[in-house]
Amino acid sequence: MPTTLIVLAHPERRSFNGAWSDATEAAALAQGDTVLRSDLCQMGFDAAERAGHYPDWPEDTPFDPLKAQEQAAEAGTTPNEVQREIDKIRQADRIVLHFPMWWFAPPAILKGWFDRAFQHGALHDTSHRFDSGLFRGKTVLCCVTTGSDANESAHDGKEGDIRLLLWPTAYTLRYLGFDVLEPVIAHGVHGYHKGAAKERLTERLRKVLDDQARVMADFDTRPRWPFNADSDFDETGRLRPDRPSHGPFIRHNPDFDG
């Protein structure tokens, strides 16, 4: 049976995000998965990469995160809190990320987890990325909440297209070789609902929690987020004219007009 790593990036364990991560755990355990967890805020994970994490880095040399990570990976001096996360990522067959969207992006602690736990020299290097990534065949699902409603988060919504806002997160995972599943998104999740609106939200979120067992049961057949293959790019790294574009981040037309 697979090993599932659940990563929660929310400062309140009693939040809906916390409850949703628990529903993921219950569903994974019920189907026989081995479950690992990283509750980043509860762990006090330090999201800021810096020279202070690497006592062996020369004080007279400007800090280079990639080189420091690579040297630590080779020397076996990776900071303990990072090594624990690397070990979990390596063990996992699938990863489920639970987080809210804040200021049109995931919380800083999740980005910091990427910055530090996706260690250069351990989980990727110049020869192992994208189609040659070390995590080919492994999958990641993002379970995301937004404060905006579904209309505001649509492709023409005032809050911006949620898929475009999530693309940097998805492409980070793609860089390591992961397959990225189509996300599950719960909209309009905030604490300012009152009266009937609050009751409707509560009922809607209860359905999300109840439905998580089906999401996990269908994990392996859930649609994948499309990305270009390495062969779609020429020797300079530009998208070949005859290859498809899957969105405005990598496109043929420099003047994207929607």
Return the domain boundaries, the chain: 3-227, 231-258
Which secondary structure element, helix H or strand E, spans residue 11, and what is its range?
A: none
Nearest-10 crossing angle of helices 195-217, 16-30? 30
The model's confidence at residue 87, banded by pLDDT at 50, 70 and 90, is very high
The least confident of 52-61, 205-214, 223-232, 248-257 is: 248-257
For the entire predicted model, the pTM comes to: 0.93
Confidence at residue 257, expressed as pLDDT on a 0 to 100 scale: 53
* pLDDT tens per residue, range 181-233: 999 999 988 878 888 888 887 888 899 999 999 999 999 999 999 999 999 99
Residue with tokens 């020797």: 235
Per-residue pLDDT at 82 exceeds 60: yes
Average pLDDT score over residue span 234-244 = 95
CB within 8 Å of 61: residues ≥ 6 apart:
none
Specify the CATH architecture of the domain 3-227.
3-Layer(aba) Sandwich (3.40)
Strands 3-8 and 34-39: parallel
Contacts of 4 (CB under 8 A, 6+ apart): 24, 28, 33, 34, 35, 36, 92, 93, 94, 95, 96
End-to-end CA distance of the chain: give it in Å, rounded: 43
Tens of pLDDT, residue by residue over 89-114, are 999 999 999 999 999 999 999 999 99
